[in-house]
Amino acid sequence: MASPGSRPPDPRSRPVRPPGHLSAGDRARRRQVIRRRRAVTGAVFLALIVAVVVTVTSTGSGASAKRSAASTAASRRQAHKGTAHTVRKAWTPASWVASLEAAAKGKPGYLQPGSNPSVLPGPVLIADRNNNRLLLVSPKGQLLWQFPTPGHPLPGPFRMPDDSFFSPHGKHILATQESQATISEISLKTDQIVWHYGHPGVAGSTPGYLHNPDDAMVLPNGNVLSADIKNCRLLYISTKTTSLLHIYGMTDPYCYHQPPLRFGSPNGMFPLTNGNWLVTEINGDWVDEMTPAGKILWSTHPPGIQYPSDTNEVRPGVFLVAAYTNPGVIEEFNSQGQLLWRYAPTGKNALDEPSLAMPLPNGDILANDDYNDRVIVIDPHTNKIVWQYGVTKVPGTKPGYLHKPDGVDLAPPYSLTMTHASTMGIPPFKG
């Protein structure tokens, strides 16, 4: 029997082994636990590595994506910038004039003392005949443009231009070279002659020839009307085929007043606001109103004028003419030949063979005073010169000087044919 105070052996208990002693089974189980722990540790470590790689990759991809997006945006900006540089504004007469005025800003003008730039609505085109050039001069007297370009040779048929006018669309200038028996059309966009009629320096009367043409103008349909002084006729010319679509008057050397059969050396054919044309005849000192079909409505003598030149309309029923004489005269009259206004200074202020006077929007008169080597504006209320470009009786080529200026026009939109384009009569002849 057990002694008092002793406990019976626990059947579940195992025999106590000495420390450090493991049985074969314990050692196997311990190795299995270690292997499982190693496996778990390896898996965790692998997971950590994968997480780091994914994070780095994700971060790199994000940066790459940002760099790619930034690059794309920059490319788009550059493309837009490039497109902005390649887009050009459409060329227009207004943009042409504006660019010339901008380029001249701050540059000196060359007007004569007492000139008032505000009397002009815009630049003036001057046919500087004996200097073989066309000039565009600002109201301040700045030289804005010149044809041909200074330093360039005279192009082909271009010599000694007299009357020159902008076309109705304002993109070209039609220059008549009377002494050269030619007419030239100049593109303002390219500064090139794009059409001409006649044979330079060779006068004639057969198709393709002229004999002292004068005041040629482009019509809204693109064709040309011109006086042909020494052939005693007026011409309607196609600019597409260079053929004569119609001849007003007889082609012969006997120029006398018998319109519409004959004309006495006609030197101008200007548009009226009623759709008809105003013809000036040198021989006999006549001015006629003629329809585009060639019907004469009236004829009259400008009062006291010998050698009338380039008669044109001030307003319905009032006409303006220059006398190509020395001393010269500029006057307004009506269809009955009644004098309405006259400018005829004498002495040192006398005009010397002015060939064209034109009304300005403010009522003043713009004129080229040929042999005084100047272009002037006259105030008809005071009979004073209020603007002058060119030095009186001093020919020259420098800025501020002219040599026998023989024609003027205003720059678009105030030019003669532009302001008359909507009412300009078109001849009904097809050739």
Looking at the domain assignment, is residue 239 inside a domain? yes
Looking at the domain assignment, is residue 32 inside a domain? no
pLDDT surpasses 80 at 18: no
pLDDT band of 6, cuts 50, 70, 90: very low
Which position has the higher pLDDT, 53 or 403? 403
**The amino acid at 396:** G
Looking at the domain assignment, is residue 100 inside a domain? no
H or E stretch including 135? Answer: strand 133-137
Q: Of 68-77, 214-223, 316-325, 396-405, which range is least confident?
A: 68-77
Report the percentage of the chain scoring pLDDT > 70.
Answer: 79
- Report pLDDT digits (tens) over 88-117: 689 999 999 999 999 999 999 999 999 999
Looking at the domain assignment, is residue 268 inside a domain? yes
Range of the domain at 333: 116-420
* pLDDT confidence of residue 319: 98
Looking at the domain assignment, is residue 210 inside a domain? yes
Looking at the domain assignment, is residue 85 inside a domain? no
Q: Are 42 and 36 in contact (CB under 8 A)?
A: no
Looking at the domain assignment, is residue 155 inside a domain? yes
* pLDDT confidence of residue 12: 34
Name residues whose C-beta falls within 8 Å of residue 356's C-beta, 6 or more positions apart in sequence.
163, 309, 310, 322, 367, 368, 406, 407, 408
Report the percentage of the chain scoring pLDDT > 90.
Answer: 76
pLDDT surpasses 60 at 7: no
Looking at the domain assignment, is residue 86 inside a domain? no
Q: Of 28-42, 167-181, 215-229, 377-391, which range is least confident?
A: 28-42
Distance CA 116, CA 109 (A): 12
**The amino acid at 166:** F
* pLDDT confidence of residue 61: 43
- Report pLDDT digits (tens) over 171-196: 999 999 999 999 999 999 999 999 99
Cβ burial, residue 150 (10 Å; 0-12/13-18/19+): exposed
- What is the rounded average pLDDT of the residues 22-36? 49
- Residue 166: which CATH number? 2.130.10.10
Domain count, the chain: 1
pLDDT surpasses 90 at 3: no
pTM of the model: 0.80
pLDDT surpasses 90 at 86: no
* pLDDT confidence of residue 35: 54
